[in-house]
Structure 1
Amino acid sequence: MLDPVDLQLLAALQRDSTLTAQDLGGMLHMSASQAGRRRQRLEAEGYIAGYRAHVSPEKLGLSVQAFIQIVMATHTAQNAKDFIRLTHTKAEIVGAWTLTGDADYLLRVYCADLAALNDLVQQVLLPHPAVSRVQSQIVMERVKPDAPLPV
């Protein structure tokens, strides 16, 4: 069970994962060692799944972000396995989800330009034997960045 202090700690780390135990202790009105032990417990229990840097896609030359909906040709376990394997082999595919509704999968991709996006769709996704239909939406503007989870 999480208590209010745990929730405050999680919220603070979602805003800035580089906070030290000293920083957290000051924010939570406890000693650095107490804050550090709480953080370690939340990591060990799986509440904190990891830490990562937010890298700017634009600085890396990835100027096109798109969401791609995939409809499978047939719904077999092997087709799903083959398609999921494909999503892990293409660096441009940074997220993949299974869905309810018309599409079977939703992919989030970053590409250098429209030509690279076109190549991904035309040369990789559409020819895949498990894929029946591909529909892409190009992101025009990001109006809200990925936000912390509501804790």
Structure 2
Amino acid sequence: MESITLDAVDLQLLAALQRDASLSNQALAALAHTTPPTCLRRVKRLRDAGLIEKQIALLNPERLATSLGHGLTAIVEITLDRQDAEALERFEARVADETAVQQCYRVSPGPDFCLVVHARDMPGYQALTQRLFTADANVRNVKAFFSVKRSKFGAELALA
């Protein structure tokens, strides 16, 4: 990945894509006040530089609830017995492979990790805890906080 210098147009493109990555190239070019070919080239450059990691669709959990149920969201604090680099990386690799773990943060001070987990129901959450935490002899403490309402959700980074 190359290191690049960002100008005002790059920042406008990144800001617009954070809000709606489904914008057509023409619409994106209009928002950034540039031509479509220039816009396409710049977005490719931003992607190649690793500034755009991936594009995803954010699903509406309330609307999906009628089909799939509300599910269960938990913020889980994990403390390990050993915190050497290998042990931390091994734990990160385990949770990275688990689709129910939506986010994983290595934190300090306090617990070693905070996870955002989504499970279909409490038995699904219990099965997840067995796979990730109970079976791992290095996990010393697990503390879960269950969400009763999502009042804000986003992934937009401040660019200014």
Return the TM-score normalized by structure 2: 0.83
What does residue 63 of structure 1 align with? 71
Question: Shift of residue 125 of structure 1?
Answer: 1.0
- CA 1:15–1:115: 2 relative to 1, 3 Å: same
Of 35, 39, 44, which residue of structure 1 is paired with 2:43? 39
- Residues 3-26 of structure 1 show CA distances to partners (whole Å, capped at 9, x for unaligned) of 111111111111111112211222
- CA 1:62–1:78: 2 relative to 1, 3 Å: farther
Please tell me whether the aligned partners of residues 17 and 51 of structure 1 are also in contact (alpha carbons under 8 angstroms): yes
Question: Shift of residue 78 of structure 1?
Answer: 4.2
Q: For structure 1, which runs of at least 5 residues remain unmatched after alignment? A: none
Question: Shift of residue 36 of structure 1?
Answer: 1.1
CA distance in 2, matches of 1:12, 1:24: 7
What does residue 142 of structure 2 align with? 134
- Residues 74-129 of structure 1 show CA distances to partners (whole Å, capped at 9, x for unaligned) of 22344334322321333212221211012011111111112222332356413410
CA distance in 1, matches of 2:83, 2:155: 33
Please tell me whether the aligned partners of residues 68 and 107 of structure 1 are also in contact (alpha carbons under 8 angstroms): yes
What does residue 107 of structure 1 align with? 115
Of 14, 20, 41, which residue of structure 2 is paired with 1:16? 20
What does residue 5 of structure 1 align with? 9
Please tell me whether the aligned partners of residues 8 and 28 of structure 1 are also in contact (alpha carbons under 8 angstroms): yes
Question: Shift of residue 50 of structure 1?
Answer: 1.7
CA distance in 1, matches of 2:51, 2:89: 28
User: Once the two structures are aligned, what percentage of the paired residues are identical?
Assistant: 30
CA distance in 1, matches of 2:144, 2:75: 6
What does residue 150 of structure 1 align with? 158
C-alpha RMSD over aligned residues: 2.0
- Residues 45-94 of structure 1 show CA distances to partners (whole Å, capped at 9, x for unaligned) of 22212211223456244610101111112223443343223213332122
- CA 1:46–1:85: 2 relative to 1, 3 Å: closer
Return the TM-score normalized by structure 1: 0.87
**Pairs within 5 Å for 1:22-33:** 22-33=26-37
State yes or no: 1:53 paired with 2:57.
yes
Q: For structure 2, which runs of at least 5 residues remain unmatched after alignment? A: none
